[in-house]
Amino acid sequence: MVLSRRLTILALCIAFCGLAAGGLYAQLESGDRGILPIDSSGTLEITGIKVDVGGKTAAEARFNGWRIAQREGFKALWAKQHRRPISEAPTLSDGVLDTLVSSIIVEKEQIGPNRYIAQLGILFDRARAGEMLGFSGLQRRSAAMMLIPVFQTAGTQTTVERRNPWQRAWAQFRTSQSPIDYVRVSGMGPDPLLINAAQTRRPGRAWWRNVLDYYGAADILTAEVTVHRAYPGGPAVARFVGRHGADGTILGGFTLRAKDSADLPRMMAEGVERMDQLFTNALAAGLLVRDTSLITVEPPPPVEEELPQAEAPPARLVQIQVITPNEQVFASVVGEVRGVPGVVSVTPRSTAIGGWSLLLVNYRGSNGALGGALQARGWNVAYVGPTIRLTPAVPSAPLAQPQPQPAQPSQQPSAEPPGNPQ
């Protein structure tokens, strides 16, 4: 009974792990995510051009409307780039405009038998139109900024885990005209695991550095929007907030409204443009200062300066003769010679106990220096040609002291003085 209960618990654990793994796999492999950003590096865009023209036929009315949109689009783009009134913009011929226009975007249109009403967008070739507008190239004035679009509705926050109108608006935004160098993610691959709403609340710098290095970015911009709906499909109010850095420093915000769900994409597109303007103003004000803690490059270790060392003189062979009355003296002299600074090696060439032994010494220096060092160690040194001759230093014998003479016995004089013999 106990074994059966344990097997049941084990089976339930395995089934739960399988469901969790399946859910994670489904989250990564879901087809309801992933919006590729539009590559706008080679184009300049102007949108919201309204036309209302007529023609003999529907096709002619549409053609006339596109012609007018090209003219007004270039003037609007020139005024936007130079921050001047549209009335001061130059007027280009239709032939020149045809070479500058890359494509026409139809936002809204109504086609009648002889009338054309539409809202259009014009894409200009950046290389060609840049010369007419007074700038060229793909110059950027900011570092590469990782953009994280956070969409919140009904108490749920998402970024790129699932498709949402906020991510789609950023994917369709053409960043070529913005001074901010955006790094946008598509939501495919490992993006939902690395870039999500929870990541924007993590202050840890180690994980942020890994994420930025993976996507080739240098700093972080977070664009948040919170949508409140009156009822499903009805009016909506959205609050937009722009943040900077890993700590989420607030740069500003604004509020927009949509009349219904069909108007929501228009509100999101307008929110992207205003959010880009918010980031641009922050860059101009010097607020987008890069956080030094996000830099992965560590300073190199200090280089220890090596003091120049004097080059040692080359070693040379020196021959030493030494009187060796016994083995103790021979071992002593070999040890003394090896202990002299500059001696590389000592090799006995011939050993004669009771006579003169011969040593070959590999020494860095002159014979005089080696002889002086041995003499300081208590040896008598003599030079016989190139050979150094050593003899033990014998202490000098003390001077002989005079020995006291023994006293001679004295003769007693006689009591009577010596007289002449009788």
The letter for the amino acid at 181 is D
Q: How confident is the model at residue 193 (pLDDT cuts 50, 70, 90)?
A: confident
Mean pLDDT to the nearest integer, 396-402: 40
Above 80 in pLDDT, residue 395?
A: no
Measured distance CA(326)–CA(331) in Å, rounded: 9
pLDDT for 380 = 82
Phi, psi of 169 (to 5 degrees): -65, -40
pLDDT for 6 = 53
pLDDT for 250 = 92
Measured distance CA(288)–CA(286) in Å, rounded: 6
What one-character DSSP code corresponds to residue 286? Answer: T
Q: Out of 218-227, 260-269, 291-300, 329-338, which region has the weakest mean confidence (pLDDT)?
A: 291-300
Query: How many other β-carbons are positioned within 10 Å of the β-carbon of residue 153?
Result: 17
Question: How are the residues of the chain apportioned to helix, strand and coil, as percentages rounded to the nearest 5?
Answer: 35, 30, 35
List residues bridging with 259 in a β-sheet: none
More confident residue, 418 or 219: 219
Find which of 231-240, 337-346, 352-361, 378-387 is predicted with most confidence, using mean pLDDT: 231-240
Is residue 363 within 8 A of residue 315, CB to CB? The reply is yes
Above 50 in pLDDT, residue 367?
A: yes
Cα–Cα distances in Å, from 308 out to 312, 315, 321?
Answer: 12, 21, 38
Options 3.40.1130, 3.40.1620, 1.10.8, 3.40.50; which CATH number does 140-292 get? 3.40.50
List residues bridging with 103 in a β-sheet: 123
Helices and strands (DSSP H and E) totals, the chain: 10, 14
Above 60 in pLDDT, residue 10?
A: no
Map out the domains of the chain as residue ranges.
Answer: 43-133, 140-292, 316-392
Segment 140-151, tens digit of pLDDT: 568 888 999 999
pLDDT for 223 = 93
Above 90 in pLDDT, residue 225?
A: yes
Q: How confident is the model at residue 270 (pLDDT cuts 50, 70, 90)?
A: very high
* CATH code reported for the domain at 316-392: 3.30.70
How many CA within 13 A on the CB side of residue 408? 3
Mean pLDDT to the nearest integer, 52-72: 91
Mean pLDDT to the nearest integer, 258-272: 91
Segment 330-365, tens digit of pLDDT: 888 888 888 888 888 888 888 878 788 888 888 888
Q: What is the pTM of this model?
A: 0.53
Q: How confident is the model at residue 3 (pLDDT cuts 50, 70, 90)?
A: very low
- What percent of the chain lies above the pLDDT cut of 90? 18
pLDDT for 400 = 40
Mean of the per-residue pLDDT values of the chain: 78
Mean pLDDT to the nearest integer, 236-246: 93
Find which of 75-84, 213-222, 320-329, 374-383 is predicted with most confidence, using mean pLDDT: 213-222
Above 50 in pLDDT, residue 218?
A: yes
pLDDT for 308 = 61
Q: Which residues contact 176 (CB under 8 A, 6 or more apart)?
A: 40, 41, 42, 43, 44, 45, 126, 138
Q: Out of 255-259, 289-293, 313-317, which region has the weakest mean confidence (pLDDT)?
A: 313-317
- What percent of the chain lies above the pLDDT cut of 70? 78
List residues bridging with 257 in a β-sheet: 237
Q: How confident is the model at residue 199 (pLDDT cuts 50, 70, 90)?
A: confident
Measured distance CA(251)–CA(346) in Å, rounded: 81
Measured distance CA(312)–CA(335) in Å, rounded: 23
Q: How confident is the model at residue 45 (pLDDT cuts 50, 70, 90)?
A: confident
What is the distance of C-alpha 400 from the center of its chain?
Answer: 89
Helical pair 165-172 and 264-284, crossing angle rounded to 10 deg: 60
